[in-house]
Amino acid sequence: MIDNKERIGRFTSSQMSRLMSNGRGAGTVGAPFKSYVSEKRREKRLGRSLSLNKGNRSTAWGEIMEIYLVQKLGYKTYSHHGKITTVHPVHKYWAGSPDLVQSGVKVADIKCFEPDNFTKLADVILQNDLEVFKKEYNSEYWQLVSNACIHQVDKAEMVLFMPSYSELDYIRKWMNEEEPEGDESSKWKYRFIFDAPDYELPYIPDDCEVYSPLMTFEFEVPKEDKKALEERVILASSYLNNDKSIV
């Protein structure tokens, strides 16, 4: 994702919560807004991402589980965008890479967390309250709002997945037979799924009565939040091609 040319020098959905940060004074922006604009301005000048790809087991697990979720568990009404970046149809410095898009209807993002983060987000999803989700998962909320703006839809969905214990062997078999990644040089990333004992992998016990492997939260994106985000992107974009102090 970091070598995606469409993302270089553009404000992307995953960082939109930084643009939405407020300062102490009324109508002012916060420090995260300023630091993000500064990063993107320097990135645009450099012509490459400022970030380096330093993956770990958690990242690799999330990647392969996203592929598994889409290929084996349905979501056929969506198209899987994965690493596809779409530029906003009007604002050229605004882009996003939603995991799933149902054209003209909604966007979705997939989270395949390990147990600690899975249960935290699951507890919020179980409340089925947009304001709680917005408060507790501000970054994820604005990412979804941003992608809804880019794809011009009114609905968004958070998709949370962690397999059940009895699914682990099936996942290993699927990985062996399907070769979902299809890249021999990168398969080492997933070797731990075969080598690690079950207790070192993320899973939900089969007898768990609170959490399900697949949990979702769908909501109508507030029009006022779409408008507020667009205004912040326009403001941020005004600093990209100059040396103006970011205020």
Euclidean distance between CA atoms 160 and 69, whole angstroms? 10
Residue 156 pLDDT exceeds 90: yes
Residue 205 pLDDT exceeds 70: yes
Q: How confident is the model at residue 41 (pLDDT cuts 50, 70, 90)?
A: very high
As a whole number, mean pLDDT of residues 9-31 equals 94
Residue 197, pLDDT score: 95
SS3 state of residue 71: helix
The pTM of the full predicted model, rounded to 2 decimals, is 0.92
Euclidean distance between CA atoms 218 and 112, whole angstroms? 17
Q: Which residues are CB-neighbours of 1 under 8 A, at least 6 positions away?
A: 7, 53, 83, 97
DSSP codes joined into one string, 148-214: HHHTT-SEEEEEEE--BGGGHHHHHHHHHHH-SS--GGGGGGGHHHHHS-GGGS--B-TT-SS--SE
